[in-house]
Structure 1
Amino acid sequence: MTSYLSRLSPVPAFPAYTGPYTVGTLDIELPVSELEAPSASPDDSISTVNYRVFYPCDPGFKGKNVSFIPSPQRDYVAAYTRFLGAGNMLAEAISFFPRLLHYIQIPALKNAPLLEPPTSEKRWPVMLFSHGLGGSRNAYSHIVGSIASHGMIVIAPEHRDGSTPVSYIRAPPSVTGDNEKRSDKVKKRVDYHRISHTPSPEVEEGRNAQLRIRLWEMGLIHDSLLKLDINPSSLTNLNTSTTPLTMFGGKMDVHRPGKMVFAGHSFGASTTAQLVKSTFYAPRNSEAP
């Protein structure tokens, strides 16, 4: 009966995830200053890394699902409309009518407790998934959430290279002050940077610039996962709506060589291939310039 009534709803909805585990999710945004960078920063204005985590959670948790379109929703709707080719005036006009979009939810429970791993090592396998052009930390939620429902922690970064329709960078505590309330006013906005798909030296230069940012972010995020497993209390999550990260301590299989899974779609797949290749062929310290 519930399934039949859901078909009558005017609000679009994602189907349930395919695996046996209930899925939890939360947002993490960390200051770059707390992480070990794999290279010099390609853009000093990017002061944080941002990602959403999908993971098997306690099936008895009675929490709420998260919205597919993050807040501020009007800005995100307008940004996606511009990404699809609409002009600024039309995009802004369309953004006033997102009411149905407002109610679309990801079938994952916000801030749900991590389920105890059933593996002999008492750790969950981990995947790092990079999005393609027009993607975000939520855009591939059904794919990565479905993977999580089969028993894996999946990390979905939001790249700040101009490949997502819009992204916001929270100011780290050193900028806002420990006791000052963080707000939208202290965020940096990163809009989509449109680059032609026709090969040319300019296109190659633009994509390579984006790739440098992406690889730098992926290295930082990988380091954050190592720290999250060893000592989660050492990290400052700027997303204050997220539950404490201590539940991930000692629960992620990220230290054993070859155990982490690296994946992506489209430009994200290219990012992942370059990341793995760069890591495998990284020079020894004695050979590094």
Structure 2
Amino acid sequence: MFFLPSFPGRFPVGVTTFITPVRPSRAIGSVKLRIPPNSKQERHENALLLEEVAFTAYYPAEVDALSKKGVPWFIRPIRESLHGFAAFLGVSKWLLWPVVYLFGALLKIPAYPNAPLRKPESPLYQWPLVIFSHGLGGSRTAYSQFCSRLAASGKVVLAIEHRDGTGTVCMPHSWNQGRQSEPRTLLYLRESDIHWDDNDAIDIHPLPLRGQQLAFRHHEVYITYSAFRRFVHADPAAHLETIDGTSYNVESWITPDASGTTRVRCDDRVTLAGHSFGGCTVLSLLSTKPLGGYSPIPIDRVVILDPWLEPLPSPGPVPIGKVSISSKGTVVDGSFLSSPETTAALSSQTDGIELDAKVSHPRMLIINSETFTLWKDHYERLKEIVAGWEPEGGKIMTIVGSVHVSFSDFPILPVVRKKTARPIMETISKLALSFLDDTLEEVLKTVPTTGMEIKIIGVKKDGRPKRKLLGNVGDVISQ
């Protein structure tokens, strides 16, 4: 058995994967799956079908001497993961099968499957909630090192399995009268896999498929938050099951303390986080009016790892504020509304009571890889975006020597593990945790830092200069 590296932190980490049904299921967007040649199928099927939402919870766990450690890293069944990685990488599954089956059978996350949620040590304290969105080719386990490090520090992290064709593989069910259908296999979607009907409206989004996938992801984020919040509050309407039907300690999640306080803090100060297209998802969600029919998410902070900006319309994105309204001493907080409509919309619901509305937005931390910071046009746009969100000085941290996949588990996998991968992950986690715990400025005094200096080290194949950041691997550049 291979284990991923252990992670520092005060608490052992539990891992449970939940699913919640979407009834009725519905198509998001107009993109269709292309009919294969010589197929007997007569019509295109919707490519983005919202049937159920899945997410893996990483959390502080209650364990004892009998608790067994080891959570599979590869999505099960292994055969489907093989097909998924082959589709994502664009290679034959026969080239991958020895590696996938070896790692799939033996590779484990050093965490406790379905362990009970730990009771906070202090009365009235609640574990903070983080919702995480993966990037292209990612999964609910592909960022287990980052998510587990947050959990080991005392956070509950919900890593969404996006079923929009951006993951390597997923197996959603449809639900009818409370029953699951047999799962269908959804692999990574490429442009060659999709089709638009001739009568579809022209999509002016810069990357039409990614735009519709972003819309799909919005639904998944809202459903994840809403379903989990209802579950934690023991709402009878909540419907969460484990993805494989295994049992777990429900009471540890829903039993409040003597004062009625739930163990997880869901009603305010929620954090959104994401990598690459997941970071793009966070920016898109925060710059878009909330979807109708969903509970607003009281987002307080965002941690974005190497955000990919190209799928977002330009100029922008621009923040939509968090509304805090006082009326005769009453505060309503946490709704995300478009600023021009905020006061009028809320005034119409308060029977003419005078309102003092203040619009703010979540605090933001960006952690960039060296490769994305050296992507000149992209980095300039990122700085403009952060300035719009944090006019008093937003933080973009760049880690020298890191690459785009440094935020995931891939560089830390056994056999292919790089010597610098784990120290870089430790720095990423330390920066994110200190930001969430309001100690970032203090931590920046303890980690190696350097200034932004770029050296030309050669010429690329296209004739452009090949550049590199000066400094030691793991140094932090703060701008």
Shorter-chain TM-score: which interval?
Answer: 0.7 to 0.9
Checking the alignment, whether the CA contact within 8 Å between 1:78 and 1:94 is kept in structure 2 is: no
Name which of 267, 272, 281 aligns with 2:277: 267
User: How far 1:175 sits from its partner (Å)?
Assistant: 6.4
1:277 equivalenced with 2:287 (yes/no): yes
Q: 1:211 to 1:95 in 2, by over 3 A?
A: same
User: How far 1:33 sits from its partner (Å)?
Assistant: 2.9
1:59 equivalenced with 2:56 (yes/no): no
Name the CA distance, whole Å, in 2 between partners of 1:274 and 1:243.
34
Structure 2 residue aligned with 1:3: none
Query: Which stretches in structure 2 are left out of the alignment for 5+ residues?
Result: 30-47, 193-202, 255-261, 291-335, 347-479
Name the CA distance, whole Å, in 1 between partners of 2:103 and 2:148.
22
Q: Which amino acid aligns with 1:273?
A: L
User: How far 1:152 sits from its partner (Å)?
Assistant: 0.4
Structure 2 residue aligned with 1:94: 96
Greater Rg over alpha carbons, structure: 2
Aligned 1:135-214 pairs, distance under 5 A: 135-172=138-175, 174=177, 176=179, 186-195=182-191, 204-214=207-217
Structure 1 residue aligned with 2:15: 25
Name the CA distance, whole Å, in 1 between partners of 2:287 and 2:109.
33
Report the secondary structure of 1:83's partner residue.
helix
Name which of 216, 225, 228 aligns with 1:225: 228
203-212 or 274-283, which deviates more: 274-283
Checking the alignment, whether the CA contact within 8 Å between 2:116 and 2:249 is kept in structure 1 is: no
In the superposition, the TM-score normalised over structure 1's length comes to 0.80
Structure 1 residue aligned with 2:28: 42
Structure 1 residue aligned with 2:86: 81
Q: Which has the higher contact order (CA 8 A, sep 6+)?
A: 1
Name the CA distance, whole Å, in 2 between partners of 1:124 and 1:202.
38
Name which of 69, 77, 89 aligns with 2:74: 69
Name the CA distance, whole Å, in 1 between partners of 2:174 and 2:96.
29
User: How far 1:12 sits from its partner (Å)?
Assistant: 4.4
User: How far 1:92 sits from its partner (Å)?
Assistant: 4.5
Checking the alignment, whether the CA contact within 8 Å between 2:87 and 2:187 is kept in structure 1 is: no
Name which of 105, 124, 133 aligns with 2:127: 124
1:13 equivalenced with 2:17 (yes/no): no
Q: Which has the higher helix share?
A: 1
Name the CA distance, whole Å, in 2 between partners of 1:73 and 1:223.
31
Q: Which has the higher strand share?
A: 2
Number of residues of Structure 1 aligned to a counterpart in Structure 2: 259
Q: Percent identity?
A: 25
Q: What RMSD, in angstroms, separates the aligned Cα atoms of the two structures? A: 2.9
Name the CA distance, whole Å, in 2 between partners of 1:19 and 1:118.
15
User: How far 1:119 sits from its partner (Å)?
Assistant: 4.1
Checking the alignment, whether the CA contact within 8 Å between 1:136 and 1:164 is kept in structure 2 is: yes
Checking the alignment, whether the CA contact within 8 Å between 2:231 and 2:240 is kept in structure 1 is: no
Name the CA distance, whole Å, in 2 between partners of 1:107 and 1:234.
33
Q: 1:204 to 1:195 in 2, by over 3 A?
A: same
In the superposition, the TM-score normalised over structure 2's length comes to 0.50
Q: 1:63 to 1:234 in 2, by over 3 A?
A: farther
Q: Which amino acid aligns with 1:263?
A: A
User: How far 1:228 sits from its partner (Å)?
Assistant: 1.6
Q: Which amino acid aligns with 2:253?
A: F
Checking the alignment, whether the CA contact within 8 Å between 2:165 and 2:187 is kept in structure 1 is: yes
User: How far 1:95 sits from its partner (Å)?
Assistant: 2.7
User: How far 1:149 sits from its partner (Å)?
Assistant: 0.5
Query: Which stretches in structure 1 are left out of the alignment for 5+ residues?
Result: 1-10, 177-181
Q: 1:95 to 1:276 in 2, by over 3 A?
A: same
Structure 2 residue aligned with 1:241: 246
145-154 or 54-63, which deviates more: 54-63
User: How far 1:75 sits from its partner (Å)?
Assistant: 1.3
Name the CA distance, whole Å, in 2 between partners of 1:245 and 1:270.
33
